[in-house]
Amino acid sequence: MVERVLRAVEQVPPGRVVSYGDVAALVGTGPRQVGTVMRLYGSGVAWWRVVSSHGDLGADLLDRARPHWAEEGILVRRNGLGCRIADHRADLAALHTAYTAAVADLG
């Protein structure tokens, strides 16, 4: 499960984001499980590309994500509480293809 989630997140290209629900649907689990994996093992991947379905994050994470977003050209919402997920959401079909290949490589 952990491996699956991490692989999925690794397929999100720079400058793009996905929601926890997107990753959950991709790997076949629930949104909260994605959150759990990210909390415990997310430090090794581009965790700032995974946001809530509204594009926001908790206050702590937000501060740490902002520099990355700025670097990748991900725009922040007017209220400053998250990114514009509607403008930056990764292509889910392409993501599925890349993910499938990545987990096949898993063994």
Q: Does 82 bind DNA (CB under 7 A)?
A: no
Write down the least CB distance from residue 68 to DNA, Å: 11
Q: Does 12 bind DNA (CB under 7 A)?
A: no
Q: How far apart are CA 4 and CA 27, in angstroms?
A: 6
Q: Given the complex with DNA, which of 23 and 98 has the nearer CB atom?
A: 23
Asked if residues 9 and 49 have their Cβ atoms less than 8 Å apart, the reply is yes
* Tokens 């990753």 found at: 23
Query: What count of Cα atoms within 13 Å lies in the side-chain half-sphere of residue 6?
Result: 12
Phi and psi based region of residue 28 (left: phi greater than 0; alpha: psi -120 to 50; beta: remaining):
left
Write down the least CB distance from residue 105 to DNA, Å: 20
Q: Does 53 bind DNA (CB under 7 A)?
A: yes
Footprint of DNA on 13-52 (CB under 7 A): 19-21, 24, 29-40, 42-43, 47, 52
Q: Given the complex with DNA, which of 8 and 38 has the nearer CB atom?
A: 38
25: number of Cβ within 10 Å? 17
Q: Summarize as ranges the residues that interact with DNA (CB under 7 A).
A: 1-2, 19-21, 24, 29-40, 42-43, 47, 52-54, 57-58, 61, 79
